[in-house]
Structure 1
């Protein structure tokens, strides 16, 4: 049954970067204090700079240690992306296909570390995204479209035209996207034409290879 599928939360792996920064900051604070105590004639501005920089490292390191702010939730109803700047949600009933993305090279398809999602209809997805998330999607995922465009011998469009196309987009229900929403919908249309999917999830956001995550998501999709 659909409801038997357990909800899963996917987080990117925690790297030792935060711990190293935190420890480095603590050492810097101790060094600044020792310099001030052992060398009273030392330059106060220099010690202050070391102390302030070290304190910032402690704060940032502590923040990184708290775990990633990015995550995905998979339920029997939908897949959802969460982050400190917003998120998106796609219902399984509106998803046509999920798989590891690939780019054509001389007639061969080369897998890339991204998971592609192809929707049945754009309207619900695009209307629910806040401007900041839409902007992040446009900026972060353009590299895939650029790669696919550059590897075509005779691309049908100029690259600049498809990266910044904000012409009005008409949905199947008659709703008209304008501005940033139109740019996102048009980008998804070009993504589908060049790459076979509408938008993508970077492997950097996942706790497993893109192919494995795509397989997991397809099990939810098949049961929906």
Structure 2
């Protein structure tokens, strides 16, 4: 296999804000301790709350300083998303198209900081996705559907009817999806109708621009 297509790990870019959080938390702990020592009239519970808040800020900053977290793995078989809430996996053989997403308005298309993925079979993806991640997709990616709906002169659906449509969804294999799975499958169907893709990856999770990540993924897709 081409060396460029070996297993690759994508991590979120490191943020300098984490260093500020860590330093600010440590300074806050010291200042709270000094206040308690030099101004004994200040109530002990108030000092304890300040120390606790500053300590939590320092711990959070320290955690982020340990390095960026893994968000995606690309292998010769699949594209996989990782998060604290869970993740999802899409086999290259089940991906029809992947590219930077865009939204149209009067014949003009504005590229978006999102990567769009169009699948061949919803069932395989939806049945395997973590429920918490499915919920996050529904909530965080609805802005794209709203934008596309508003830019369409004569939309075929009312926005309030499609954002959280939980009508049972039947896959090509005959599997009936209900509840959260049906809601995600229906959202993917509406996304395809309005945006051309089923679900999306935010540039915020990537270590490179959306267009570059889409280009990298297409090389794996072509080799699958």
TM-score, normalised to structure 2, is 0.95
Structure 1 contact 69–84 (Cα < 8 Å) conserved: no
How far apart are residue 17 of structure 1 and its match?
A: 1.7
Q: Which residue of 2 aligns with 1:67?
A: 67
Please tell me the root mean square deviation across aligned C-alpha atoms, in Å.
1.5
Match of 1:159 in 2: 159
The residue aligned with 1:133 is 133
- What is the aligned partner in structure 2 of residue 26 from structure 1? 26
> So what's the TM-score if we normalise by structure 1?
0.95
Cα distance in structure 2, aligned partners of 1:98 and 1:156: 25
Number of the residue aligned with 1:5: 5
Is the contact made by 2:9 and 2:70 (CA closer than 8 Å) also made in structure 1? no
- Runs of 5+ in structure 2 lacking a partner? none
Equivalences, count? 224
Partner residue in 2 for 1:55: 55
Please tell me whether the aligned partners of residues 86 and 130 of structure 2 are also in contact (alpha carbons under 8 angstroms).
yes
* Distance in 2 separating the partners of 1:177 and 1:123: 8
Structure 1 gaps of 5+ residues are: none
d(CA) in 1 for partners of 2:168 and 2:42? 64
Tell me, in whole angstroms, the C-alpha distance in 1 between the residues paired with 2:57 and 2:150.
40
- For residues 163-205 of structure 1, give each alpha carbon's deviation from its aligned partner in whole angstroms, at most 9, with x where no partner exists: 1111111111111111110110010011001000000000000
Q: CA deviation at 1:2?
A: 7.0
1:18-47 CA distances to partner (integer Å, 9 max, x unpaired)? 211111010011112222233334443332
* C-alpha displacement of 1:206: 0.2
Give, in whole Å, the separation in 2 of the partners of 1:184 and 1:43.
Answer: 51
